[in-house]
Structure 1
């Protein structure tokens, strides 16, 4: 959805019978809607079911695609494109479902691929959209995305189980409205500042209004028992510095998507343009997305040995090397392919590590909202990148015959900005708490015991086995931790051998509630003295429910 219209962006004013500044709203609306929808859908998923909200997000996207597919009117197109932005909510919801349902040994690479899909889809959309735009009516782009959305809904309903993990509380409507207003007021001048003027009253006024709204929103969220975003959790170093690094990675990702296609399509008469067709330009940039896809298994191996923090920093270093090398590799199409491959590898590693860092720092019931906020940070990074790179290319362009032509100086300056952003992100990543291996970080509540659970855990926990009345292990039983106030404090699913491990937020008395298909539920009191060692607690379900 983010790059669907990039191949036809220069033709949008003519296609929509409007001015170039108005045509950019077709891209801006998707970005704004996606930024707003992502944390909201994440929280709704935590409360009411992640699969349910995943299907809802995809359904809204399909409706938006059909709206856009049947119109050439600017305002209707903007509405349709805004609805398409709801597809962004699939990222945190998918990560949350994986955390709740997948066994530990598959979780790392699965989350890595899901996180990378935000770049994989963007990279693959460029050549596919260019192919469609060159050989068919441009509205076919929207019908294609509607078909993909419908297929995704069908496969989700058929193959993806609903998570039984739920957060306590109600949906914070006021918080959702406040965050939406603050984000729109912030992202709007970022995306349109180059058109309005960065020092104009409109731009500065919107930035000021955004600061005021987000400040009031933050004060309100801190006073609520069930806020949309738990700001205290967000302030933890592991979450805060991961989100700051995410913004910088977002800046780096979008810069290459803006620069390389233009460089490839500029005519050779400019002296530096490569004179390639829209389709060839898309194919040269496509390795960016493909490489991100293939780095997911590599991420799992690196993270399993060194932890996601090291993986994130490694990815950022590769990105910096890619942009640095790109400063001197812009004279041939094959050189742009090399740049795309190197940057794709770095961005893939960086994106893959982000959900593991977030999941390892928040309770299971907050996974959707926390990953939604992290995806939002990446969206903010792409917005900032789009605005800054667009401003740089516009201010360094040569104007010939009333047409602004980007210069090589502008392209190189854009690469330098991306390099600086990723180096700043590297500094943020350095402040992350000491990384754990993937086995500990990616699965705070692993579904294993015996040799699969380390004898010493770095936080308080209950662990043991879930069995039936005859002592046989019960797999995929839901173990819920309830504190002395009757609130859910965590949950886990038992492994094939019945083993479970569930983190304890603090010392004290708890109830371990166990439910499993075909068995009567069990509630067992337990207490934890605190400290790093887990407390052993086997749970025997009393009997089997008759069929």
Structure 2
């Protein structure tokens, strides 16, 4: 009688886990006798994610103050945001892949040390180049979310995974919202350096907590880092994001901008070709073809756009002088407070999305979030002359981001083998970053396209900005509807489970991508 060494890719309402049949050879080491306090594990991972998200947005409202103090031009000071963005985009897939290979806790500690070092450098900076160098180090922490999701999937009981992943995913939006809220009071009452010293407390707590309270994940993907793919992807992402971030300042039709776009696009094509040919790719292209993965990445791209649209358009409108007839004359601090409802909704709906994903699958909260996100911009596109309309838009936006961010992560971990969690979730983090860059550039360009003789954006410019975001929300709905239902995903899991092969994970990925 022939022994069939096969793997069953079983999907529960929480997540799909690579489960070994009794006669199969092991693919993941047995857990050590160490039993971690899972509540503390989640707490320490949350602190790390919150500190990264805070540092991402906390600086943005303070750029004028930093520019004046360091005597830097408006164009030069934007490198504070651009450097952070480029570093996070390039290092996230590399560090997530190393986490899958060498151990997620080990790489998480490296990432937190880099984040702490960068925060200290930024806090001590007395010149723009030093501050930008600190921001580059901080950007390495973009890998915190993929590493955290991998640790949660490997360490927590299955029934807690979806809600916990929902909370960790929502924290990226919560931190971004809190950063906008807190920046004004910190700069007004302390100084811009405290934008780094205060989050450093969270970073230090997360570092100590992970060191003493988080066990090393037993799931590994042995191999070597794909250096060629790493180089090609880095060049491509840097070129694309530089073109997007600097295109408005340099001119969208300038030779410099167009050349960077060309290098970025050609680089992405070259990266795909390289990854399809190497034995141990940085990102396995088959992951991106899984039906539960590519719609989640498409939604991630659109919601990266929408989230930064919220954090750009609404504060700008609130801070315009009331004498314009459509501005509300709020200070930076007051405008930030109007984003508190958005942040509170994120706190609530992140875990709610995890509960919905556990009971009904990730598609439902993703569709609901996409609909709410579209409504969040359709409302002010119709009318935004009353404060209640701004608050209602913020509430809808917070609920949408909380639902979608959590649903995306749950959809991905439910669709890929545990050994590939870092790769798959890092791609989602990258597309969100790219979407945020595109959203910031496009919305800023739309608002600046129609200004008064004094250089103030007109009411029509804001209407158009909200309308553009609503249109992107419709694209998010279409992508969310393309997600497989729970029944369809269960069928794919059964198909993967019947794909017996000596090279088990490769066989499973082939089965999961077949027909999709």
Q: Does 1:314 align with 2:368?
A: yes
Question: In the TM superposition, what are the counterparts of 1:138-157 in structure 2 within 5 Å?
Answer: 138-157=192-211
Matched residue, 1:275: 329
Q: What is the alpha-carbon distance in structure 1 between the residues aligned to residue 341 and residue 91 of structure 2?
A: 29
Matched residue, 2:482: 431
Q: What CA deviation, in whole Å up to 9, does each residue of 1:378-416 have, x standing for no partner? A: 11110000110111122222242xxx3222222221111
Normalising by structure 1, we get a TM-score of 0.79
Higher relative contact order (CA 8 A, sep 6+): 2
Matched residue, 1:302: 356
Question: Runs of 4 or more off by more than 4 Å in structure 1?
Answer: 459-462, 503-507
Matched residue, 1:237: 291
Matched residue, 2:402: 348
Q: What is the alpha-carbon distance in structure 2 between the residues aligned to residue 181 and residue 340 of structure 1?
A: 36
Q: What is the alpha-carbon distance in structure 1 between the residues aligned to residue 284 and residue 138 of structure 2?
A: 27
Normalising by structure 2, we get a TM-score of 0.84
Matched residue, 1:45: 99
Matched residue, 1:16: 70
Question: In the TM superposition, what are the counterparts of 1:350-499 in structure 2 within 5 Å?
Answer: 350-400=404-454, 404-436=455-487, 458-459=494-495, 461=497, 484=502, 489=505
* Secondary structure of residue in 2 paired with 1:165: coil
Matched residue, 1:525: none
- Structure 2's unaligned 5+ residue stretches are 1-54, 512-516
Q: What is the alpha-carbon distance in structure 2 between the residues aligned to residue 506 and residue 14 of structure 1?
A: 56
- Structure 1 residues 459, 104: closer, same or farther in 2, change over 3 A? farther
The answer to whether the Cα contact below 8 Å between 1:116 and 1:292 also exists between their aligned partners in 2 is yes
* Structure 1 or 2: more strand by fraction: 1
Q: What CA deviation, in whole Å up to 9, does each residue of 1:71-98 have, x standing for no partner? A: 1311111111122112221111111111
Rg larger in 1 or in 2? 1
Which residue among 44, 54, 60 is the counterpart of 1:6? 60
* Structure 1 or 2: more helix by fraction: 2
- Structure 1 residues 67, 482: closer, same or farther in 2, change over 3 A? farther
Moved more, 330-339 or 38-47: 330-339
Q: What CA deviation, in whole Å up to 9, does each residue of 1:170-222 have, x standing for no partner? A: 11122112111110001111011111111111111111111222222221111
The answer to whether the Cα contact below 8 Å between 1:166 and 1:365 also exists between their aligned partners in 2 is yes
Question: In the TM superposition, what are the counterparts of 1:49-88 in structure 2 within 5 Å?
Answer: 49-88=103-142
Q: What is the alpha-carbon distance in structure 1 between the residues aligned to residue 389 and residue 126 of structure 2?
A: 38
Question: In the TM superposition, what are the counterparts of 1:244-259 in structure 2 within 5 Å?
Answer: 244-259=298-313
Q: What is the alpha-carbon distance in structure 1 between the residues aligned to residue 437 and residue 324 of structure 2?
A: 29
- Structure 1's unaligned 5+ residue stretches are 445-456, 463-480, 491-502, 508-547
Matched residue, 2:263: 209
Count of matched residue pairs: 457
* Secondary structure of residue in 2 paired with 1:405: coil
The answer to whether the Cα contact below 8 Å between 1:306 and 1:437 also exists between their aligned partners in 2 is no
Q: What CA deviation, in whole Å up to 9, does each residue of 1:314-341 have, x standing for no partner? A: 1100111111112245334444222211
